Homo-oligomer: A and B are copies of this chain.
Amino acid sequence: MNDIKVAILGLGNVGSGVWEILHKNQRKVDSYLGRSIDVKKVLVSDVNKKRDIEMPAEVLTDDIAEILENKDIQVVVELMGGLEPAYSYIKAALKNKKHVVTANKAVIATYGKELRELADENEVEIRYEASVGGGIPIINTLMQSLSANKFDEIVGIVNGTTNYILTQMTAEGMDFDEALKLAQEKGFAESDPTSDIEGEDAAFKLSILSYIAFGIEVSPQDIPREGITRISKEDIDYAKQLGYIIKLLATARRNNKTFEFHVHPVLLKKDHPLASVNNEFNALFVKGNAVGELMLYGKGAGSMPTGSAVLGDVMEIGKRISEKPSVSHANKNGYMSSLISVGEGLSEYYIRFQVKDQPGVLGNIATIMGENGISLKSVVQRGKPGEKSVPLVFITHAVERKNLDKALDEIQESEMINEVASIMKVKR
């Protein structure tokens, strides 16, 4: 069958991620789709620049016309960022009846309406899952799985930079400047962090979500917003004392016939699912009138998570071109056929013995464990003197279950043991 022919505009962070995933997971992608994704062209500003990723020379181009006027190319993946020239290129691609996938929140928040209409007129799709929440599938979820719901509320932690800073301020007691500096060192904040810390980035994403959830076009400029620069360590401490965590939230909420949209630092009750979303992670919390409360949690940025969402969109378009259902029968072409066995793998184990309270029991058990190659991570022994049976709790380091069973068999032969009361795995 014919390949799906794709052009990528931009080979920065996300573009490189898309390229890497495509090559790493080629077999899965091909067998899942029943055909390959063939990247025919990649638009870059300098074709001679030295790059980390290997790419056939004929793929690179600095001439957008080579892509827009190439009748073979079916899908244009825009990963340049910023309004121009991305917006013009997307428009031209749609007019030339090419499907478009983009991660560009600024373009979609600003020109979404026009571009969606243009796509409709030209009977192609424009998809932009990666524009909100990076790898988190919030747009597909709202538009597909939850499409029978009316939504009461969409609340998101949609900016990883500010969430990282607030987490450091909350957990480590840093002040804002200190936390921003750390975020920059770790690559979670840009050298000019203005758009993130002033809430502009979050307002772009909220504008997109408002359309997806409520069908309302709100310009990002019209969304009231406040960043995190004025939050002090003191406020974080007082909030904590009162049972709250401070997060920068993008909120879209229905109140009967009116709506509110805003980006603000907000005090969140400690037990709210969003309150434990920390560091660079993002999350979207949805209240639908059928599904109830739903939360999606994951990485909101980075080349691989964002590339994952971009390729998810490309593959959906690929299925449509192939006239396959969107939930197709994964992997039936046998991409897993080389797999061998279903085993148990290594695990740490929690074990509770009930033992006789007499000297030497612990030493005895530990010795048998050691002889069977099982080393111990934690031990708790706490019994009241004189009791006939006291608990003795171990957590092992990672072992094979069969080795553990052998040791337990030996231990159970000993007269000091009343029973092996409990064995449970510890999650890796």
One of B211, B246, B292, B298 near A135 (C-beta < 8 A): B292
The answer to whether A230 has its CB under 8 Å from any CB of chain B is yes
One of B260, B292, B298, B427 near A298 (C-beta < 8 A): B292
Contact with B along A146-183 (1 / 0, CB 8 A): 11111000010000000000000000000000000000
Across-interface contacts of A212 in B (CB, < 8 A): 330
Assuming A242-B380, A266-B426, A424-B265, is B331 touching A311 (CB within 8 A)?
no
Assuming A308-B291, A391-B234, A425-B267, is B143 touching A140 (CB within 8 A)?
no
Residue of B nearest to A223 (CB): B342
Find residues 33-53 in chain A having any chain B CB closer than 8 Å to their own CB.
none
**A330–B427 CB distance below 8 A:** no
**B345–A260 CB distance below 8 A:** yes
Cα separation A380 to B257 with both chains bound (whole Å): 36
**A21–B148 CB distance below 8 A:** yes
Residue of B nearest to A254 (CB): B339
The answer to whether A32 has its CB under 8 Å from any CB of chain B is yes
Residue of B nearest to A18 (CB): B148
**A325–B320 CB distance below 8 A:** yes
Cα separation A338 to B315 with both chains bound (whole Å): 36
The answer to whether A422 has its CB under 8 Å from any CB of chain B is yes
One of B145, B272, B427 near A249 (C-beta < 8 A): B427
Assuming A264-B425, A266-B427, A395-B242, is B290 touching A21 (CB within 8 A)?
yes
Across-interface contacts of A332 in B (CB, < 8 A): 116, 215
Cα separation A425 to B260 with both chains bound (whole Å): 13
The answer to whether A64 has its CB under 8 Å from any CB of chain B is no
Contact with B along A336-380 (1 / 0, CB 8 A): 101111111100001010000000000000000000000000101
One of B296, B352, B422 near A296 (C-beta < 8 A): B296
Number of interface residues of A (CB under 8 A): 123
Nearest CB of B to A224, in Å: 8
One of B25, B273, B290 near A308 (C-beta < 8 A): B290
Residue of B nearest to A135 (CB): B291
Residue of B nearest to A327 (CB): B143
Across-interface contacts of A83 in B (CB, < 8 A): none
Nearest CB of B to A427, in Å: 5
The answer to whether A107 has its CB under 8 Å from any CB of chain B is no
**B267–A424 CB distance below 8 A:** yes
Residue of B nearest to A25 (CB): B150
Query: Which of A88-96, A193-201, A299-307 interfaces with chain B?
Result: A299-307
The answer to whether A293 has its CB under 8 Å from any CB of chain B is yes
Contact with B along A109-136 (1 / 0, CB 8 A): 0000000100010000101010000011
Residue of B nearest to A377 (CB): B242
The answer to whether A188 has its CB under 8 Å from any CB of chain B is no
**B143–A328 CB distance below 8 A:** yes
The answer to whether A397 has its CB under 8 Å from any CB of chain B is no
The answer to whether A316 has its CB under 8 Å from any CB of chain B is yes
The answer to whether A191 has its CB under 8 Å from any CB of chain B is no
The answer to whether A414 has its CB under 8 Å from any CB of chain B is no
Cα separation A425 to B330 with both chains bound (whole Å): 45
Nearest CB of B to A401, in Å: 10
A residues sitting closer than 8 Å to B (CB atoms) are 17, 21-22, 24-25, 28-29, 32, 116, 120, 125, 127, 129, 135-137, 139-150, 155, 211-212, 214-216, 218, 222, 224, 230-232, 234-235, 238-239, 241-242, 244, 246, 249, 253, 255, 257-262, 264-269, 272-274, 276, 288-299, 302, 304-305, 307-309, 311-312, 314-316, 320, 325-332, 334-336, 338-345, 350, 352, 378, 380, 391, 393, 395, 421-422, 424-427
Can you list 6 A-B contacts (CB < 8 A)?
Answer: A21-B289, A143-B330, A242-B393, A268-B427, A291-B299, A292-B304
